[in-house]
Amino acid sequence: MWTPTRMRVRREDRDRGQVAIEFLGMTPLIILTLVLLWQFVLVGYTFTLAGNAADEAARAGTAAEDRQAACEAAAMEDLPGAWEGAASVSCGESGGLVTADVRLEVPVLFPGAVGFPFQVDGHAGAVVEETG
């Protein structure tokens, strides 16, 4: 015997589990989005580290006797261990200006694991302090 109540129950039963299926279908897209966002955070953080290391290096090189050694030591001092390994620092002086260039490798997902084939550069300069 057919009643409107039974028909309504059957229609509701047809959609049961639909949210779970849609969520499972969207899960890879959600995970991919989170991974890409994390990678962008690492790229931005690497830019920040390179700029800060270059600033510290140039500032340290302005007042030191051995400008090259002080500059390189200051650049590597605050870098986290995962970024230290592939870091390259070059310092120079010309025309009363100490310049520092820091090049860091951008890690892929986990700092200290694999790096991207491109690198991030930080550049800074500071005027040599007069001693006397």
* Residue 92 forms part of a structural domain: yes
Q: Which residue has the higher pLDDT, 116 or 5?
A: 116
- Tell me the pLDDT band of 25, cut-offs 50, 70 and 90: confident
Among candidates 94, 122, 118, which has minimal Cα distance to 106? 118
* Residue 51 forms part of a structural domain: yes
DSSP string covering 61-127: HHH-SSHHHHHHHHHHHSS-HHHHTT-EEEEEEETTEEEEEEEEEEESSSTTS-EEEEEEEEEEEEE
* Residue 63 forms part of a structural domain: yes
Number of domains in the chain: 1
* Residue 132 forms part of a structural domain: no
pLDDT in tens, 32-51: 999 999 999 999 999 999 99
* Residue 122 forms part of a structural domain: yes
Its pTM stands at: 0.76
Determine the structural domain holding residue 119 and report its residue range: 4-127
pLDDT in tens, 54-111: 998 988 888 877 888 888 888 888 888 887 888 888 888 888 888 899 999 888 887 7
